[in-house]
A and B are shown apart, each in its own frame.
Chain A
Amino acid sequence: DTAVSQTPKYLVTQMGNDKSIKCEQNLGHDTMYWYKQDSKKFLKIMFSYNNKELIINETVPNRFSPKSPDKAHLNLHINSLELGDSAVYFCASSQGSWDGYTFGSGTRLTVV
Chain B
Amino acid sequence: DAKTTQPTSMDCAEGRAANLPCNHSTISGNEYVYWYRQIHSQGPQYIIHGLKNNETNEMASLIITEDRKSSTLILPHATLRDTAVYYCIATLNTDKLIFGTGTRLQVFP
A56 touches B95 (CB 8 A): yes
Q: Is B68 an interface residue (CB 8 A)?
A: no
Chain A residue total in the interface (Cβ 8 A): 26
Least Cβ distance of A41 to chain B in Å? 7
B46 touches A45 (CB 8 A): no
A48 touches B96 (CB 8 A): yes
- Interface-centre pick from A4, A99, A101 (highest chain B CB count, 10 A): A101
Q: Chain B interface residue count: which class?
A: 20 to 34
B49 touches A98 (CB 8 A): yes
Query: Given the known A-B contacts A31-B95, A96-B94, are A103 and B32 also in contact in the complex, defined by CB atoms under 8 Å?
Result: no
Query: Given the known A-B contacts A41-B85, A42-B101, are A97 and B44 also in contact in the complex, defined by CB atoms under 8 Å?
Result: no
B43 touches A104 (CB 8 A): yes
Q: Is A94 an interface residue (CB 8 A)?
A: yes
Chain B residues near A44 (CB, 8 Å)? 99
Complex Cα–Cα for A82 and B20 (A): 38
B44 touches A90 (CB 8 A): yes
A100 touches B46 (CB 8 A): yes
Would you list 7 pairs from A and B whose C-beta atoms are within 8 A, ordered by A residue? A48-B95, A94-B94, A98-B49, A100-B34, A100-B47, A104-B43, A106-B43
Interface residues, chain B, with chain A CB atoms under 8 Å away:
32, 34, 36, 38, 41-47, 49, 85, 87, 94-99, 101
